[in-house]
């Protein structure tokens, strides 16, 4: 069984037992979170498509850790005017483990 769920404004294809890295969520490590905005569920031959969400469907996940992702380097450059700026940042991320998908 798998589902397409919206987490932090982005759509993710998830299955039970899968580990997933998403944008930072306001939840402590070890806690559980529930996502009700499920767009599609597939269980064998049964497919449920929401309009826009599947009623009664939810995805439960456990927060494994909060961390910072890899550094993203940004370079700004304008030709002929000697303008060069280089900087970077590390985005805050949350690692989840999908516990259960209910349809």
Structural domain count, the chain: 1
Residue 103 confidence (pLDDT) above 90: no
Question: For the segment 37-78, what is each residue's pLDDT rounded down to a tens digit?
Answer: 999 999 989 999 989 999 999 999 999 999 999 999 999 999
Closest CA to 40 of 22, 57, 28: 57
Residue 44 φ then ψ, to 5°:
70, -115
Could you tell me the CA-to-CA distances from 79 to 73, 82, 83, 100 in Å, in that order? 19, 7, 7, 53
Closest CA to 64 of 98, 35, 26, 96: 96
Range of the domain at 64: 2-102
Instruction: Please state the pTM of the whole predicted model.
Output: 0.82
What is the per-residue pLDDT for 88? 97
Closest CA to 38 of 21, 61, 54, 60: 54
């Amino acid at each position: 069984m798998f589902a397409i769920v919206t987490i932090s404004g982005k759509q993710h294809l998830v299955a039970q037992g899968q580990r997933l890295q998403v944008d930072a969520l306001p939840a402590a490590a070890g806690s559980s979170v529930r996502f009700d905005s499920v767009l599609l569920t597939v269980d064998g031959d049964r497919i449920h498509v929401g309009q826009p969400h599947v009623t009664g469907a939810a995805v439960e996940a456990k927060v494994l850790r909060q961390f910072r992702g890899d550094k993203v380097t940004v370079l700004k450059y304008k030709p002929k005017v000697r303008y060069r700026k280089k900087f970077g940042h590390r985005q805050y991320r949350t690692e989840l483990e999908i516990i259960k998908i209910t349809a």
